[in-house]
Structure 1
């Protein structure tokens, strides 16, 4: 489904900073991958490249066999909008819009007809256990509820891959567990998920676990050793 081959991401700040070094990684359909690493290790850069939010400095990145590094931003945006969903720590919900409207807005750039957005948004909120909160302003929701609205927004249009960047970073333990249960449920239904996290509790829920250290990606074996 996703394949990085020799990918590097280098930033210039008076000298070269290697955020990713010679990374080779494949993500198969149905994977549940968690990615850990210290702050500044390169884990968010990895997610941004996988999600087509950033481009490699060198190397190859294929999505469903299609090379993406030579795509212009319009085409990259089209692939991103049709195939990927995103959940972030900060929720990014619009105040003054209902939970339902926020979920509908997430489908603007997806190949979903306008007339079907509402029914899909309602179904996604119901899946998250939030049908009764569809007309609520996000400001009246708890942190856990807001994150579930954000997940509903990300999955309503039927993405092939869900990318989550610290999705539980601002939640307490009870809400963290609730969000993880939601992610595991939609994964069991077939969605491929990649989660970046600093939390070892979250990382252990992945079926595949990656660690990024100084821009180098390694896969952990089940006992936690690389």
Structure 2
């Protein structure tokens, strides 16, 4: 697949839990390969809704979302999952690592349903951990890792399958200032090497690191 261009046209998202709530108001937005975008705003403003739509984790209620000109709203769930696994990686605030499995095995699990053989998964996982400066911790149980190391394992898991876009939702929310700086520096490095990086954050200092900055307030997306 060629490098993706992500395009939202009039995209909105409404949830209905007894009464309709518009979490994301009609939005036009384009993201190109090589972007480094931060999305900031208060809690509940619609930041994660926007990220989930971009990452094909959720579907818009109205509007068009195209990847390389292909309309995603008409794709079946299996195809959406295949596209998501092929070009997107995800890092969340919670590490989602399995205790009792080594760091290496946790990274491999992210590729379990992909096209790679077990041998290739092991190779990609080792490469990703080395990239995160964690080759020496490959056989450590997550319970033996610091918070910063856990998040770096989570980033390794996200990049092991060599995605073209990395979505990060509050990736430093559980980290102290030192580990936050280390993880953000690694994300900057990944971007310099050509990966498109999109970071959702409520922290203005983290948001300021983006080359392109968006703000979401009451479901309205604007540049700042």
Query: SS of the counterpart of 1:75?
Result: helix
- 1:82/1:109 contact within 8 Å kept: no
Residue 104 of structure 1 pairs with residue 108 of structure 2: yes
After TM superposition, the structure 1 = structure 2 runs for residues 146-165 of structure 1, keeping only pairs within 5 Å, are 146-165=150-169
> CA–CA distance in 1 between the matches of 2:220 and 2:114?
33
- Using structure 1 for the length normalisation, give the TM-score: 0.95
For 2:34 and 2:114, the matched residues in 1 are separated by 21
**CA–CA separation in structure 2 for the residues paired with 1:33 and 1:112:** 30
After TM superposition, give the deviation of residue 66 of structure 1 in Å.
1.2
TM-score (norm 2): 0.96
Question: 1:95 aligns to what?
Answer: 99
- Aligned partner of 2:22 in structure 1 is 18
* Rounded Cα–Cα distance in structure 2 between residues aligned with 1:15 and 1:120: 46
Partner of residue 139 from structure 1, selected from 139, 143, 158: 143
Structure 2 distance, partners of 1:213, 1:79, is 29
CA distance in 2 between partners of 1:14 and 1:98 (Å): 44
Structure 2 residue matching 1:112: 3-state secondary structure: coil
Give unpaired runs (5+ residues) of structure 1. 221-226
Output the aligned Cα RMSD. Answer: 0.8
**Structure 2: distance between partners of 1:211 and 1:111:** 37
Structure 1 contact 32–192 (Cα < 8 Å) conserved: yes
- Structure 1 residue 70: Cα displacement: 1.1
Show the counterpart of 1:186.
190
Unaligned runs of 5+ in 2: none
Q: Could you say which residue in structure 2 is the equivalent of 1:176? A: 180
Aligned residue pairs total 220
- Aligned residue among 26, 32, 35 for 1:31: 35
Partner of 1:208: 212
Distance 1:23 1:113 in 2: 40
Q: Is the 8 A contact 1:87 1:150 kept in 2?
A: yes
Shift of 1:111: 3.1
Paired residue for 2:81, among 71, 77, 85? 77
How far off is 1:115 after superposition? Answer: 2.0
Deviation beyond 6 Å, 4+ runs, structure 1? none
2: distance between equivalents of 1:79 and 1:117?
19
